[in-house]
Structure 1
Amino acid sequence: MSASGPAAAPARRPFAPSWGFRLGALALLAYTAYAVPQLGLSLERLSVGFGEAGHFLARMLPPNFARWRLLVEGLLESLQIAVLASAIGIVLSLPLGVLAARNLAPWWIAAPVRGLIALCRSLHYVIVAILFVKAIGFGALAGVAALVVASIGFIAKLFAEALEEISMKPVEAVRAAGAGTLAVLIYAVLPQVASRFVGFCLYQLDSNLRNSTLVGIVGAGGIGGTLFAAFKRFDYDFVSAILIAIIAVILLAELVSGRVRAALR
């Protein structure tokens, strides 16, 4: 032992090689070599695809905005679907998130509620939209229902996780003052997660604006139906106009939600 104290431990090399990592990387390379020919992936197909993509993009230019009324009607319907689905999903997710939080609800309530939330997240929203189209028919109602399910699966899960991270001291203090369950939620729980919950809601609204386009492709209303019909007619210049309009709406929504998040910080 030196005069300055005990000998320091040798510094550990960052990203030190290990046999486990080497074997995992070797297994990944072997599986890639096996899977590529099984899936028919080849540079020849990729080069042909790039050539066809060039011809396809050439047919999309210049964009044709002559049928702007049809375009605006589809965008407005998609916007209505997204806003309604987000609003309904948020209202339903708030109590579900509280019931799913294991520090606020007993296990025999939290467990089945978490199972319901997991069920909402287990299927892609396009598959859910197809199921609703088959059940209640074509139109915006199927799209709203599908995006409500998707919203619950996202917002309720994140809200429950945020509630499980809160400090229980304010909750215990309000309970000690004799407050009921509703008062505890309003005065001790929600103030700790309000800003995060608003952020979750804004993100889901952005997501539903994008998702409303996809659910429309399977017949659940919105601009997606107009886009799919234009593809089937090989009306690619109108397809280009629709895509430009969708991108513009998404960017505008992202700008607005970013300003709202900044104002809430």
Structure 2
Amino acid sequence: MARLTPNNQYEDPFKASWLIRFAWLSVAAYLAYSFNAMGLEWERIQQGLGQAGILLDRMFPPNFSRWELLLSGLAESLEIAVIASITGIVLSLFFGLFSARNLMPNWISIPMRGLIALCRTFHPVIIAILFVKSVGFGALAGILTLVVASIGFIAKLFAEAIEEISLKQVEAVRATGAGFVSVILFSVMPQVFARFIGFSTYQLDSNLRNSTMVGIVGAGGLGGTLFSAFQRFDYDFVAAILITIIAIIMVGEFLSNIVRRIFS
């Protein structure tokens, strides 16, 4: 928003300078270089659009005849998402609390923040590959992957929410002689509980999506069924799987909105 100068004139918030012009030119030059280095040409895009049309033509109408296989993979994905979300939410409560710099000394909060940052460093697919190599194919690798992803997201935001609370309530509860647990339950959690529920429902929604994605690398769930269908060029069954995933995500979004309204 423009602001008034001492002469009662509005200052241009978008006034240019040579530094800003040079920065924009550098970005434009780098984009042009990147397009050329990666061989991104309009002919390739046109060819890809043509192949996409052929793929879509082979995907429709969807084939739901193997509904038992579809439901089996879907049930496993839901189980992976729910178990991983609940486990990740519970662990994030403690991780986020111990990472809050306004409640914990540095010798506790700094290592915990480093651990949370480590959980957020890699994409879930990379983590899933590591767990598949460690514990083998199946749902366990998917659950461990999504637990790590949940901690990386929820614990970080929960710690930041705790750091923004009013310390007056904390001091008031401490003045009554309450212990550490009572301070957390009666002064910290009431201020951040609604936000924590929001973080948790969002992560559950994210885990529903990621539970199908990690299955592609062997971590269980509907992703494995989807990958097998692609390998068999069974595109009408692929369409059925994708429609099912979309339906589950929409239902999850609807339920998460209800939960947010209840606790907001």
> Take 2:200 and 2:209, find their aligned partners in 1: how far apart are those partners?
14
> Take 1:220 and 1:14, find their aligned partners in 2: how far apart are those partners?
50
Structure 1 counterpart SS, 2:78 = helix
Q: Offset of 1:181 from its aligned partner?
A: 0.3
> Take 1:80 and 1:12, find their aligned partners in 2: how far apart are those partners?
57
Structure 2 counterpart SS, 1:122 = coil
Q: Offset of 1:116 from its aligned partner?
A: 0.3
Percent of counterpart pairs with the same letter? 63
Structure 1 counterpart SS, 2:112 = helix
**Gapped regions of structure 2 (runs ≥ 5):** 1-5
Matches within 5 A, 1:135-150: 135-150=134-149
27-36 or 79-88, which moves further after superposition?
27-36
Q: Offset of 1:14 from its aligned partner?
A: 3.3
> 1:148-197 CA deviation, whole Å, 9 max, x = no partner?
00000000000000000000011111111111000100011101000000
| Number of equivalent positions | 259
Aligned to 2:3: none
Aligned to 2:71: 72
Structure 2 counterpart SS, 1:36 = helix
TM-score (norm 1): 0.96
Aligned to 1:30: 29
Q: Offset of 1:243 from its aligned partner?
A: 0.2
Q: Offset of 1:30 from its aligned partner?
A: 1.1
**Amino acid across the alignment from 1:145:** L
Aligned to 1:191: 190
> Take 1:10 and 1:175, find their aligned partners in 2: how far apart are those partners?
51
> Take 2:202 and 2:163, find their aligned partners in 1: how far apart are those partners?
20
> Take 1:110 and 1:38, find their aligned partners in 2: how far apart are those partners?
44
Q: Hey, which bits of structure 1, 4+ residues long, moved more than 4 A?
A: none
Q: Offset of 1:124 from its aligned partner?
A: 0.7
> Take 1:177 and 1:263, find their aligned partners in 2: how far apart are those partners?
31
Q: Offset of 1:18 from its aligned partner?
A: 1.9
**Amino acid across the alignment from 1:32:** L
Aligned to 1:103: 102
Aligned to 1:126: 125
Aligned to 1:3: none
> Take 1:37 and 1:182, find their aligned partners in 2: how far apart are those partners?
59
Q: Offset of 1:262 from its aligned partner?
A: 1.3
Q: Please tell me the root mean square deviation across aligned C-alpha atoms, in Å.
A: 0.9
**Amino acid across the alignment from 1:213:** T
Q: Offset of 1:10 from its aligned partner?
A: 2.6
Q: Offset of 1:34 from its aligned partner?
A: 1.3
> Take 1:198 and 1:30, find their aligned partners in 2: how far apart are those partners?
44
Matches within 5 A, 1:19-98: 19-98=18-97
TM-score (norm 2): 0.97
Q: Offset of 1:13 from its aligned partner?
A: 1.7
Q: Which one has a bigger Cα radius of gyration?
A: 1
**Amino acid across the alignment from 2:173:** V
Residues 1:221 and 2:220 aligned together: yes
Aligned to 2:249: 250
**Amino acid across the alignment from 1:89:** G
> Take 1:88 and 1:33, find their aligned partners in 2: how far apart are those partners?
46
> Take 1:192 and 1:264, find their aligned partners in 2: how far apart are those partners?
12
> 1:194-213 CA deviation, whole Å, 9 max, x = no partner?
00000100000000000001
**Amino acid across the alignment from 2:59:** M
Structure 1 counterpart SS, 2:120 = helix
Structure 2 counterpart SS, 1:82 = helix
Aligned to 1:4: none
> Take 1:14 and 1:177, find their aligned partners in 2: how far apart are those partners?
51
> Take 1:203 and 1:64, find their aligned partners in 2: how far apart are those partners?
31
